[in-house]
Structure 1
Amino acid sequence: MTSIEPVPLYRDTIGTMVDHRETLHANCLIIDDEEVKQNTNSTLHDQSPPTNMTNGTISHLLPSNGTLKLWKFNDVENQQLYLYESLLKHNWTVDLKAIQTLRQQLSEYRSELGDRSEIILHQRNTKVKQKIYSVFRKSAIALPRNIFNFFPKTDPLNQETRYRSCAVIGNSGVLLNSSCGNDIDKHDFVFRCNLASLSQFKIDVGMKSSLTTMNPSLVARTYKELKKAEDVRQYNQDISQYDGLLWVPCFNYPGDIYRIPKIFSSFKGKKPKIVCGNPQHFRSVMDFWKERGLTNPLSTGFYLVSTAVQVCDEVHLYGFWPFLERYGDIKSDVMYHYFDNMTLSHVHSMDEEFNILIQLHIRGILRINI
């Protein structure tokens, strides 16, 4: 089995790490640490909903004498959301031992989950005519030279130590009006999913991007297979907003291979650098979590979380709330995506994935910010 080195946390003082974490808050609207303590330690009496609530909202509450209000949940799911939010409001502390245990389990499960050079395909871990197996089919293709030539010559994630602090940005509408942008941009490495819009939402989601994913289906759906000049122009304009790497799952399905040359050759900008994810790495992450209860195909966001644990000292999540409602002081609706009108996807088990993320949050392995 491939062994992994201890977390290189102690190259800085513990005090420095604590100071760094204190600049990042579970609620990005909170600025003052004393206010954080007041919010997380407040009693039930302090959490009364506003008195000017509409009849439609007040019906969720038990009749009150004006001093105490309790939620009367209509179903178990709503009660679960309230409990989730309550757990996330408590102070969070990183647990280095738990993080290392998870890394060790990943590494011992399959070697590529302990080897950061296997996350992305490059010319040092592939060769022309090598068999590449797709993620969701058992079929394989012989790697064509024209695609191999697009691969970087060396691992683009190559580094001696892990990134100190990483943010993985989900696309939930929970980010709207969060003012999390500055907190997100403070991280050393920022993962983003599926070409999520940035500039018009920068106060809430930030602008920094180190690795952004793009599903090949977007090329078909949004850019009409890049057949017309207008679509190619829009494609170039859209992806040029990102820095770092544009990560494409080039081999999810056998048919994806026909889009790959066009994805590379149609882009004329200098950034980001387009790369292909390693399908074996994705498959191994998926198999690892399948044995722990996630039987549906993993969402891109959950895959990035596992990848971030592999390459980062600390992992902070933003925009991970796969539900259409929130139950805090008041009940509110949440868009599926913060930047479009897409409806809830049933391809992935978002609620089951979030159940796992909540447990990792409680264990101090990662931090969920909502």
Structure 2
Amino acid sequence: MNEAYDAIVLGAGAAGLFCAATAGQRGRRVLLLDHADQPGKKILISGGGRCNFTNMHTAPDRYLSQNPHFAKSALSRYTAADFLALVESYGIAWHEKTLGQLFCDESAKQIVAMLLEECAKGGVDLRCGEAIRGVDHADGLYRVAFGDQTVQAPALVIATGGPSIPKMGATGFAYDLARQFGLKVVQPRPALVPLTLPADDTLFRDLSGVSTEVIARCGKAAFREATLFTHRGLSGPAILQVSSYWQRGDTVTTQFLPGREEGWLKAAKRERPKAGLRKVLSEGLPDRLAEALCERLGLEGELGNLSDKALSAAEAKLARWPFVPNGSEGFAKAEVTAGGIDTSGLSSKTMEARKVPGLYVIGEAVDVTGWLGGYNFQWAWASARAAGLAL
């Protein structure tokens, strides 16, 4: 005889833990399964081990999806302030780093411990290290086989995330399940990921380790944060942000020395005609980068000996320096997955599949991808809450 539950949640990451806790505390008998040997493994490595658990500037326009309106309902009903109140109720000290990003003062382990305690309050049956052998649905019940047993419930929650960071055990299992039940999948791709440059950009790849603030743009997306040059290409927060919008063949432009007024090089020429361009650039950029940019611009000598036309052209190039990445570092280095289970088949209020009663999809498995800086955690909490209250 199969052991019976009210709901089975697959995946003990951020979304799965919070959904199970929410449903359990509402009196539901919940089983939470994960093939990993411990819960919350991605939480533990997030934010450099301090977990960037939410962002105070959370808004639907900071998420990518084929349906940009889908996330509005869940995000409006469970906000960053709501999750912060839970964190504070556990006495977890936190700080705002930049741009609304909230981190634990001490350790991401505190967030995992909090979620596990929330699950315990709801009597959640948590089992880790359990590889799932099969899932089927008949007579209004979902049956999940794992180990040497099979369990059943009228509700099943897919919270197994996407394939980003496979070394943590991430797979495309959610998509396989979705297709099994007739749900469409938007082509998954790496997001918040470093971009690689072709060999002809060797000059910049030689700057590995150099970082500077820029405005990075791809299409209509623009982010003012740090860019880091790597031995393979470009990284840093600004690049990770635009990578979510980048498609193969797209140009990424970077504005070096953002905030400078138009004509600043000609003004520098008038004020310091004997100064060299490299000297002027190095006052706002790392020396190695200033040297590389001067080499690419082909401008040597004193500013006073350079024409205004040449300086205007240099300004324009520095304001929209083009890079054409030849790829990304893939799911291995991607912080999250863009794409995923199509929202057209889901209820934005409950996260339940429209045509498959009792089937729910939450978190990263859904085609909703946030910006860098705690937005994806907030989507995990909000979507998990929506499903947990509906179970």
* Fold shared per TM-score above 0.5: no
Larger Rg: 2
Length-normalised TM-score, structure 1: 0.24
